Amino acid sequence: MINKLTNIVKPFLFLLAPIHCEVCKKELTEFSQFKYLCMTCFDSMPLAQNCEYSFNILLNHIPKENLYIDEVFSLFEIKSNNSYMDSIYSLKYLGLYDIGFEFGELLGKKVLKEKKFEYQISTSVPIHKARYRERGYNQSDFIAKGASNTLNIEFDDRLIKRKIYTKSQTLMNKSERKINVSDIFDIYSESVNFENKNIMLFDDVITTGSTLNAIAKTLKEFGAYKVAVATLASAL
């Protein structure tokens, strides 16, 4: 109950505080083009490697014969400077879901420059309904909406469902993650027909790609032609 109340109150408390950059915490001036990001942090954002480079790194984590992902896009990388992860923390845990939309639009612009294929449908990595109840929203929906807006792709949040409640990925080691993600996703029976369509799948962070690859596998089993993944942060 206390948790629930805190979750409801937090975003309103934030509205009373001065609006600041979610990366450096400095107060935003009227010159900022963004609601949650100052121009200094925008200009010095450690942009993630391009799609082709990221795809080759992904192949170090997942052998080619088990890889169902066709393209990989990320906005920023977090190995050299992880202060940008603060924006994702605020997006996930402080109720600031609008950050997802704003950063999602930036991600969309980067994808536009790098993509090789055209995508017809976008969707997001689902969170289990128990976690959805606790948090009140799925952060990746907002990333997907912002990026899909820029990319002009139709967003569908009722494509994939999570069958099993899993413990947080960040608390697990690599082999635990692989076991954990196998066979936990399914397709909603009433989903639109996406056979032979190209789908772009959104999440907040890519670490090993195993969760995203498990979903890509499920989408392809149900007829998707190509599956791209796009995340705000890359830890690849």
**CB atoms near residue 30 (< 10 Å):** 4
Q: How far is the CB of 32 from Zn ion (least distance, A)?
A: 9
Q: Which residues bind Zn ion (CB under 5 A)?
A: 21, 23-24, 38, 41
Helix, strand or coil, per DSSP, at residue 188: coil
CB of 99 to Zn ion, least distance (A): 13
Residue 78 or 214 with smaller CB distance to Zn ion: 78
User: String of b and e for 217-233 (b: at least 16 CB within 10 Å)?
Assistant: bbbbeeebebbbbbbbb
Cβ nearer to Zn ion, comparing 39 with 57? 39
Check: CB of residue 218 under 8 Å from CB of residue 159.
no
Give least dist CB 61 to Zn ion, A.
31
CB of 25 to Zn ion, least distance (A): 7
Closer residue to Zn ion (CB): 21 or 206 = 21
Q: In whole angstroms, how close is the CB of 38 to Zn ion at the nearest point?
A: 3
Which is nearer to Zn ion, 41 or 184 (by Cβ)?
Answer: 41
Tokens of 20: 């600041």
Measure Cα distances from 2 to 97, 129, 210 in Å. 21, 19, 34
Question: Between residues 36 and 55, which has the closer beta carbon with respect to Zn ion?
Answer: 36
